Copies of this chain bind each other. A is one copy, B any other.
Amino acid sequence: MDPKAFYAMSYGVYVVSAWDNGRPTGCTANCAAQITSSPATVMVSINKDNYTNKCIKDCGHFAISVLAETSDPAIIGTFGFRSGQDYNKFDDVDYSVKDKMPVLDDCCAYIACKVIDKMETSTHTVFLGEVIGAETVKKATPMTYAYYHGVIKGKTAKNAPTYIAEEENAGAAEKYTCPVCKYEYDGDIPFEELPDDWVCPICGAPKKIFEKK
């Protein structure tokens, strides 16, 4: 089995949000899709270790904010690198409550859903939601997972004012790579100092399985 075969599958980049006792929270996700058209239903797959998973189960609803190529890449960091249990992620972004759900302003569309079914897998819950509201927020090209990896990562690094210095300084630094999705950690916080419940922002793999290179 060649894990690279999985890379050929195409995805978008989403922030999936829910309420945590009146406090908005959420996480990044790449696996979301429309399942039926009438009634309209969509699915999202959320790692059971993500706090958002619990919140979706508790509040019975979720919303999908579809990121655009023009969306601030920091959103992915905010919603992918921290646990919503410890941090108010929505404090870092502009958002609105639409169809009673928290939705990012910096996205191209949102879909708000009521959970009507779910399928548990070894590590993820596949939630099926009946759509209660969906609107285009901004006319923009949706961000694909391939774009995030191929374009944002490159551009962010090259265009960042600190790029050269960091690259030079980081020459001897150890790299930590997700064995699942091959994401290479490049955050500001040293990898060792990330909390133990930190998970791969791309695929949700736990910190402890990251490989040092």
Contact = CB atoms under 8 A, between A and B. Distances in A.
Interface of A: 1-12, 31-43, 45, 64, 66, 108-111, 117-119, 121-124, 126, 128, 131, 133-136, 142-146, 161-165, 180-181, 203, 205
A189 to B, nearest CB: 22
A118 B117 CA distance: 12
Contacts of A11: 10, 33
A12 B12 contact: no
A175 to B, nearest CB: 20
A202 to B, nearest CB: 11
22 contacts: A1-B131, A1-B135, A3-B40, A5-B66, A5-B109, A5-B111, A6-B34, A6-B134, A8-B12, A8-B136, A8-B142, A33-B45, A35-B124, A36-B122, A36-B161, A37-B180, A41-B121, A43-B126, A117-B119, A119-B126, A126-B126, A144-B146
Nearest to A110: B5
B161 A34 contact: yes
Nearest to A14: B9
A163 B39 CA distance: 13
Contacts of A144: 10, 144, 146
A189 B34 CA distance: 23
A8 B119 contact: no
